Structures are given as structure tokens and as C-alpha cells.
Amino acid sequence: MSKALEANITTLALTDHDTIDGVKVIQQAASGYPIKIINGIEFSTRWKKYDIHILGLNFDVDNEHIQALIKQQNGCRIARAQQIAERMRACGIEDAYDKACAIAGHNRIARPHFAQIFVEEGLVRDLQTAFDRFLARGKPAFVPTPWISIPEAVEGILKAKGSAVIAHPLKYSLTRTKLRELIGEFKEAGGIGMEVVSGDMTLAQVQEIAELCLRYQLYASTGSDYHGETLSRISLGRQRQLPLNCRPIWHQWIM
């Protein structure tokens, strides 16, 4: 909350991957602060050969459809974690699954926990290098996951009375033709928004996505893509401003 206040943030959504465990925690933490908390989640989905992230915003966290999707995603994560551990054995690291569980503690096992193992074993100097050399797509320890589809994610979000948004659309290395195809299918499924500003995007990148947002008549969202000091390129709330010609998605809920 202190970082949010320093950045003059008045509206904040925590969008963890495939979990809402932190939503009620941040709601309680924000009590007494002049900050409006929006319920959020970031679903990992599979579209063609790409992993696409779909944000759910302002939904009912207790909705059965959201809960069912989260349970399904967690099963996929466990299966992937076990496969990553097997690939790490070929990289010279034994018992990676158990080590990742120990690092994660009560949290779900994810790639950052395996990245930490690479650091602790002395194979790399930091987490980002672990991703770049071992855990990114095409690298020795990368394992694709059979995530839910975009229509499944959007349907669950809509049934929970929420809004579906494409997260950081330039991070998927799509051609411009493929990106337009993605946006079209997302909108057809019921999605209404796109993250126009994310992390350390350049002004030219922001303008490009803003134009697509307007062309497809989508609402715009913005996010710092903040994952803590060690895995974030910019601090909380320090991303570029949303272009004035975009329709902020939060205007649906806060006026």
C-alpha cells in the first residue's frame, strides 16, 4: 500500500496468475487507505501455439465458474511443474520439484521458484538469466501447458459478472496479422478490453496498441506489470499514461 500511495494510485487491481488468494488480502490491507481495490485475476490461456494471458476484472471472487477455472488451472500447473523438474534433471539438478515446493512454501509452484533453484545451484547469477537460459520458450527446461482456451476464460469471467481484457498484447511475439486475429476472436468470445499500457512499453508501442483498441472498439486498461523489485523493470504505477483518446475500462465501475 505504501508503494501505491507514493505513486498516487487511487485504483488498484492485483492480477495474480490463476489465483485470487491475494485479492482478499489486499482488500484488507487497503482498509483505511484512499485506494479503490478492483478484484482481479490473470488467466493463462492457450491460443493456437501461444500462451495468451486474459485478465478478469471487477468480478465476483466467490463465483462457482471462476472457482472451477482456477481449480482446473492449478491441476495444469502441478503437471507442468513435475515435467519442468524432469527437464531440470537433464540440466544437472536433482529433486527440483521438492526444492521448488520448499521455496514456494504455501504458494503455488511456478517458474520463478525453479528459477531460484538455478540461482542457488550456481548455474546462473540471477532470476532473469535463469529464465533467459533455461525456462523461456525453446530453452532446455521450458514445458508448454495445456491451459484453458480464451473462450473458456472469457465465459467464466462473464458468468462471474466481470470484464475480460487481453493482457500485454505485445509480449506474445505475434505478427500484426496474428495479433489482429487474436483480438477479433477475443472480442467474438465476449472480451471487451485490452491492456494498452503495460510495464516499460515505449510511446510508439502504446500508440500502436491504442490504435488497435480504438479500431476494435475495446476499453483500455493499464498496468505496471509489477512483480516485486527483482522481477520488475519499472516500479508500481510508474508506467506511461493511458492515451486520452482511449476509453478507460474502470470508468464502467468508478465515476
Give the predicted TM-score (pTM) of the model. Answer: 0.83
Rounded to the nearest integer, the mean pLDDT of the chain is: 92
Give the architecture-level CATH label for domain 75-135: Orthogonal Bundle (1.10)
Identify the band that residue 43 occupies on the pLDDT scale cut at 50, 70 and 90. very high
What pLDDT shows up at residue 228?
A: 59
Between CA 118 and CA 90 the distance in angstroms is 13
pLDDT tens digit sequence for 54-63: 999 999 999 9
> Would 43-70+148-252 and 75-135 be classified into the same CATH topology?
no
Question: In whole angstroms, what is the distance from residue 148 CA to residue 132 CA?
Answer: 25
> What SS3 class is residue 194?
strand
pLDDT for 227: 63
**What CA–CA distances, in Å, run from 233 to 48, 67, 82, 173, 230?**
29, 31, 29, 19, 8
Specify the pLDDT at position 233: 61
Fold of 43-70+148-252: TIM Barrel (3.20.20)
Classified as helix, coil or strand, 222 is: strand
Q: How far apart are CA 124 and CA 240, in angstroms?
A: 32
pLDDT in tens, 146-178: 899 999 999 999 999 999 999 999 999 999 999
Is the pLDDT score of 226 beyond 70? Answer: no
pLDDT at res. 234: 65
Mind listing the pLDDT tens digit for each residue in 62-107? Answer: 999 999 999 999 999 899 999 999 999 999 999 999 999 999 987 7
Task: Give the start-to-end residue ranges of the domains of the chain.
Answer: 43-70+148-252, 75-135
